Homo-oligomer: A and B are copies of this chain.
Amino acid sequence: MKFTLKPIGVVHSPFKKTEDIDSKKYSDSGGFDTVQGELEIFPEFEEGLKDINGFSHLIVLFIFHKSEGYSLHTQPLLDDTLRGVFSTRSPHRPNPVGMTIVKVLERKENRITVSGIDMIEDTPILDIKPYTSRDQKAEVKLGWLESKMKK
């Protein structure tokens, strides 16, 4: 069983390549809050953005397009121990799909200016969803990340 997906748009980012991202930002829950970028939705999907105004945050699903291959044990940026890939946000995963929640600043036609960008330029976007109160979880425990992350 396989599934074929196609991009609905691309990310525009101040990070032109993976190495441009300061990995220390990942240890801070607000580390990317000031990083602005743009979600460009292809014109044929623009109508799907109707009613997006009014949502403060969007869930962006995207392809880690520079990721090649994966291992089930991976060394995270924030740790020096091999961790199971599903307990990390590593781009090197069996299905190289990423998820980032961004804050909406402005929408003009098929382009949404956002903050919270941790993707690189030209990242293919698979989907945009509204972030709702169902996605706000309390009493969150962070496993191996607990001591590595500023809340």
Interface residues of A (CB under 8 A from B): 1-8, 26, 29, 31-32, 41, 45, 47-57, 59, 61, 63, 72-73, 82-89, 93-95, 97, 99, 101, 103, 124, 126-137, 139-146, 149, 151
Q: Chain copies in the assembly?
A: 2
B50 touches A84 (CB 8 A): yes
* Residues in chain B near residue A47, CB distance under 8 A: 72-73, 84
B130 touches A95 (CB 8 A): no
Cβ-neighbour of A86 out of B1, B32, B48, B101 (below 8 A): B48
* Residues in chain B near residue A131, CB distance under 8 A: 137, 140
Q: Chain B's nearest CB lies how many Å from the CB of A100?
A: 8
A-B contact pairs, 8 of them (CB 8 A): A2-B4, A3-B5, A3-B63, A31-B134, A49-B87, A56-B137, A86-B127, A130-B142
Q: Could you tell me the distance between the alpha carbons of A3 and B97 in the complex, rounded to whole angstroms?
A: 10
Cβ-neighbour of A144 out of B54, B97, B99, B129 (below 8 A): B54
Whether A29 contacts B133 in the complex (CB less than 8 A), given A94-B127, A141-B54, A142-B54, comes out as: yes
